[in-house]
């Protein structure tokens, strides 16, 4: 059945054309619902699903709290939490306007990882308020996926939450992007007969995604990586860095580059864009032969693919209408599925590295310049990532079964 096209409600500020857009028809009424997994057909079913039968289960959990994983949905469900402060490319649009994105994230969890997820949009902005609210919600969930929370607050929120709860806390804008980027870079290097240790990368953007990508590249053994923000390259001699940038400055830019992004691109092997803006073609032309360009800003990449292909061996974007889409949906469903499978208490750097390697390996025998990362619809992706994350959790001692 075709989606219903509706007339716009009055006084919304939206145009008639907006409400005839198919996106409005698809989103009308929301995109998800809660569905029971047991029938309630008669009084016997009712007495088991609710009172008095439920009291036996409650009493057992009260005596042995670990049973909550076996007799509730806890180990199968993730909270998708936002404050609406950094939603897609829309910026700070608030909690209500963020809900369509959070619903979308929840259905991606289910579709691609078999994980149930609940959208939670918080009407608060303070770090303390967000942390305290999520801590109090945590008993209902097996994991917390932080989403679309602006930097640098997102770093502290994630860190403090993981210190307070014994379930995985994962900020997808950071780590999902980093896992997929590393997987694509591994395959690009393999395709061109190089190792990560031979590459020098430059990242445009020192926000949540840029910092996380830099960290995972360092952990994976990149030759060197430098980040640039609006004021230029992030380096230890700058006095204007926030704590997150100060920390990443200590880990990166080992050659001590200063100045502009454009100057750093001269001779660089890799460009990774997570900032928007435009990189001049002359700077792109100055990169090393056989470079990799991952221009991931949406909807307009920092370097247009047509320009990138003039100079690069491999080009990736964040868009679905070009090859090599760096899409977080390749990572987060399988990462959480693996963590929930073993009841992990956290998601470690080793688990993220394992996820990235598994993702790269899915197409290890199928590589081409237009295929260094799998499609989100490749049915091999989620099982491979899930298994790798579960195994890494056991190896690192954060699994509880």
d(CA 394, CA 373): 26
pLDDT-derived band of residue 104, with 50, 70 and 90 as boundaries? Answer: very high
CB 124 within 8 Å of CB 133: yes
| Res. 254 pLDDT band, cuts 50 70 90 | very high
Pick 174-401's CATH classification: 3.40.50.720, 3.40.710.10, 3.10.20.30, 3.30.379.10: 3.40.50.720
Give pLDDT tens digits for 145-166.
Answer: 999 999 889 999 999 999 999 9
pLDDT of residue 268: 98
pLDDT in tens, 166-203: 999 999 989 999 999 999 999 999 999 999 999 999 99
Q: Which residues are catalytic?
A: 50, 105
DSSP for 37-93?
A: SS---SHHHHHHHSTTHHHHHHHHHHHSGGGHHHHSSGGGEEEEEE-SSSBTTTB--
Residue 226 φ then ψ, to 5°: -130, 145
Same fold? 73-167, 174-401 = yes
Domain ranges in the chain? Answer: 73-167, 174-401
For residues 310-334, average pLDDT: 96
The span from the CA of 148 to the CA of 60, in Å, is: 38
Give the mean model confidence (pLDDT) for residues 241-256: 92
| Residue 19 pLDDT exceeds 60 | no
The closest of 109, 79, 99 to 329, measured between CA atoms, is: 109
Tokens for 264, please give them.
Answer: 């750093």
The answer on pLDDT for 71 being more than 80 is yes
Residue 18 has pLDDT above 90, yes or no: no
Tell me the three state secondary structure of residue 77. strand
2: confidence class by pLDDT, cuts 50, 70, 90: very low
Q: Nearest 5°: CA angle at 40, between 39 and 42?
A: 130
Q: Which of 176, 20, 32 is nearest to 104 (CA)?
A: 32
The topology under which CATH files domain 73-167 is: Rossmann fold (3.40.50)
Instruction: Give the length of the chain.
Output: 401
Residue 17 pLDDT exceeds 70: no
Task: Quote the tokens at residue 326.
Answer: 């760096």
Query: How far is Cα 181 from Cα 103, in angstroms, rounded to an integer?
Result: 24
Entry pTM: 0.91
């Amino acid at each position: 059945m075709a989606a219903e096209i509706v007339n716009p409600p009055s006084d919304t500020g939206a145009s008639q054309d907006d409400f005839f857009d198919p996106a409005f028809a698809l989103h009308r009424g929301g995109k998800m619902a809660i569905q029971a997994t047991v029938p309630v057909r008669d009084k016997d079913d009712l007495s088991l699903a609710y009172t008095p039968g439920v009291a036996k289960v409650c009493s057992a959990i009260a005596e042995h709290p670990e049973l909550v994983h076996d007799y509730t949905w806890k180990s199968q469900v993730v909270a998708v939490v936002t404050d609406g402060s950094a939603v897609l490319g829309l910026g700070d649009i608030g909690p209500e306007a963020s809900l369509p994105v959070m619903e979308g994230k929840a259905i991606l969890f289910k579709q691609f990882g078999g994980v149930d997820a609940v959208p939670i949009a918080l009407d608060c902005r303070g770090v303390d308020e967000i942390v305290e609210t999520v801590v109090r919600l945590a008993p209902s969930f097996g994991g917390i996926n932080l989403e679309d929370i602006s930097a640098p607050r997102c770093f502290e929120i994630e860190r403090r939450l993981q210190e307070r709860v014994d379930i995985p806390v994962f900020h997808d804008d950071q780590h999902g992007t980093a896992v997929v980027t590393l997987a694509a870079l591994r395959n690009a290097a393999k395709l061109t007969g190089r190792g990560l240790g031979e590459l020098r990368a430059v990242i445009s953007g020192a926000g949540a995604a840029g910092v996380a990508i830099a960290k995972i590249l360092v952990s994976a053994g990149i030759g060197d990586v430098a980040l640039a923000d609006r004021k230029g390259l992030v380096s230890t001699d700058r006095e204007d860095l926030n704590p997150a940038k100060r920390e990443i400055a200590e880990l990166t830019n080992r050659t001590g580059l200063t100045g502009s992004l454009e100057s750093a691109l001269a001779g660089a092997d890799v460009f990774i864009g997570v900032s928007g803006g435009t990189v001049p073609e002359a700077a792109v032309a100055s990169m090393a032969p056989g470079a990799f360009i991952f221009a991931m800003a949406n909807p307009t990449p920092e370097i247009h693919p047509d320009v990138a292909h003039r100079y690069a061996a491999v080009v990736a974007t964040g868009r679905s209408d070009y090859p090599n889409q760096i899409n977080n949906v390749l990572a987060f469903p399988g990462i959480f599925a693996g963590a929930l499978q073993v009841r992990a208490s956290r998601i470690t750097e080793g688990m993220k590295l394992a996820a990235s390697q598994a993702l790269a390996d899915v197409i290890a025998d199928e590589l081409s310049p237009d295929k260094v990362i799998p499609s989100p619809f490749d049915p091999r992706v989620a099982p491979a990532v899930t298994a790798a994350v579960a195994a890494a959790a056991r190896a690192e001692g954060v699994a509880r079964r």
